[in-house]
Chain A
C-alpha cells in the first residue's frame, strides 16, 4: 500500500480517541503528586529568592541571576526534574495498565499497535510538556519579577531575554520528547524500570566523557547543546568538582543537528517500543 493510501484519517481519529482516554490519566498518574513537586520546586525557590531580594531593596544582578537560572536548569531541571518526571509519566503508560490489568482493553480494539504506541506517547508528551513548560515559564517569571519594569523590558526586548525564554521552553519540550520516548520503552522492555532508570541516569551523567559516537546515544548531549546560556566558568572548569564533570560538553552539536539528532533518537526508540508492543501478550499472572 502506498504512503498516501494509508488510512491516515482513521489513525488520526483513533489517536484522538486514545488521547481523550489517556490525557487525564497522564496528568494524574499513579501516586504522581511528586512529579508536580519536582517540576515546580525551582519556581518556588526563585519566588522566595525574589521575595528576599525585594525585602533587601531589589538591587539584584541580572547577569548573576541569568547564570543561576542556567545552572539550575541544567543541573536540576533537565537532569533530575524532567528526567524523573518523565519516568513517572511515561513508564506508567504501558506498565501502569499492566499492573491495573486493563491493557487488554486496548488490545481488543481494532487498533494497530503502532497507533497505540503513538497515541499513548502523545498523551504522555502532552502532560509532560504542559507541566514542565509551564514550570519553565513560571521559573523565569519568579526569578526576574523583583527587577524594575525598565530592567525587565530591556532584558526581554532589547537583550536576549525572550530568546533565552524561547530556547529554554524549546529545550524543555525536547527533553520531554527525548526522555519520554526512552522511558516509554523502558516501561515496555523491563519488568522493574527502577534499575534501568538508574543506569540511564548514570549514562546521562557521564555523557561528557564518552567517545564522541556514544555521546550521541543520549538525550542530554543534544539538550546541553541547545541550552542558550553556558554554565559559569566557576562551576564548569575551575573547581574540578562533580558538577563540573557533569556540565562538560566538549563537542556540542549545532542547534539543527541537536534537534534532528534528538528527534531521530526518539523515533528509533519509539520504533523499538512498537516492535515490543506488537510482541506483547496479555499474561497478567506473571506480573
Chain B
C-alpha cells in the first residue's frame, strides 16, 4: 500500500535558522493533489523534499516506496517540473528533452521517440528545434513539463506549472493533468491561483508559514471547520417561506433572501439536518431548482483556516 503513496513522516526542514516546513505528516494517494499557500508557505520546499533536491532536517520521506536518497531509482518513477526558469545553455527544446532521456541510458531511437512524444503532448512540436533561449515564458514552461513527463513517470511533481501560460494553453494543460491522473499517476501541483486548484484537484494540502493546516478532499476539509457555519445557496420559487421555515430550526444561523428574490442564502451549523429539512420543504410544495454549497471552495477554506488574506484568486 505504501508503495503507492508519497509519505512524509514528521518531516521538518530548516535553512539555517529559517523554517522551511515543520513537522509535516502527509500520505498522498494517486490523483491530483494541490499544495496551496502563499509565497513562503513551504510549497516548493515540500516538492524539493519529495524529489531529494533538499534533504529533511528531520523525519523521513518515501516516494512510491523509494527513498529520496536514491536518485538512480527515484527518477525512473518521478518527474519534477521545477519553478527555476533556467536551462542548460545552447540547447533546442528537442535537445533539452532528448539529452535528459539519454541520461537514463536509453539508446538513440528510444530517446528520440519518447522526446518527440512528450514534446507533441505539450503542443510544442513546431518549436521543438528552436533554441530555448528564444522561447516565450509559456513555451519554456511547457518544455520543462515535457522533460518532466518524457520518461512516463508514475509521479509528476509540478511547481506552479500553469504560470505564464495563456488561457487556451492553460485549459489544455489542465486537461492533460486530468488525463494523467486518470491514467493512475500521482500529479502533485503547487499553485497560489485558488480557483484553478479548486476545479482541478482530487485533494488539497493547505500550507501556511511552513505548517500543513489542512489536507484532504476540499469538501471534507470544509466540513471539519465548525466555527464557520456552512453557506448553502438555494434557488426556489418561494424564498420567503423557505427562509421563515428554516429559521425556526435551532441549527440555523442565518437565512437571507437573495437580491434577485429567486432564492435564499442559508448559513447553518449542521448541513446534514438542513438538507433533510429541504427534502421536507420540497414535499410540502416549495419548488427547489438547485442547492449548492457556497463556501466549500479552496478560497473560503483557506480564509477560514489561515485567517488572513488568501492567495491570488
Contacts and interface: CB of A to CB of B under 8 A. Distances in A.
Given A21-B88, A101-B84, A284-B84, A107 B53 contact: yes
Nearest to B157: A108
A17 B104 CA distance: 9
A283 B15 contact: yes
B71 A113 contact: yes
B103 A17 contact: yes
B86 A101 contact: yes
B99 A21 contact: yes
Given A102-B84, A102-B87, A107-B52, 15 more contacts: A10-B105, A13-B105, A14-B103, A14-B105, A102-B86, A102-B88, A105-B100, A108-B53, A109-B75, A110-B74, A110-B75, A110-B76, A110-B104, A111-B72, A113-B71
Interface in A100-148: 100-102, 104-113
Nearest to A11: B105
Contacts of A10: 105
Helix, strand, loop or mixed for chain B's interface? loop
A62 to B, nearest CB: 46
A108 to B, nearest CB: 5
What range describes how many residues of A lie at the interface? 20 to 34
12 contacts: A9-B105, A13-B105, A17-B99, A21-B88, A102-B88, A104-B53, A108-B51, A108-B82, A109-B100, A109-B103, A110-B75, A110-B103
Interface residues of B, number: 29
Helix, strand, loop or mixed for chain A's interface? helix
A111 B71 CA distance: 6
Interface of B: 15, 48, 51-55, 71-76, 79-80, 82, 84, 86-90, 99-100, 102-105, 107
Contact of B102 (A17, A104, A105, A112): A17
A20 interface: yes
Contacts of A25: 89
A14 B102 CA distance: 7
B192 to A, nearest CB: 18
Contacts of B84: 101-102, 104, 284
Nearest to A105: B88
Contact of B54 (A9, A21, A101, A282): A282
A100 B103 contact: no
B71 A109 contact: yes
Contacts of B99: 17, 20-21
A18 interface: yes
A112 B71 contact: yes
A100 B73 CA distance: 26
Contacts of A282: 48, 53-54
Nearest to A18: B103
A284 B86 CA distance: 11
5 A-B pairs with the lowest CB-CB distances in the bound complex, closest first? A17-B102, A101-B86, A109-B103, A110-B75, A282-B53
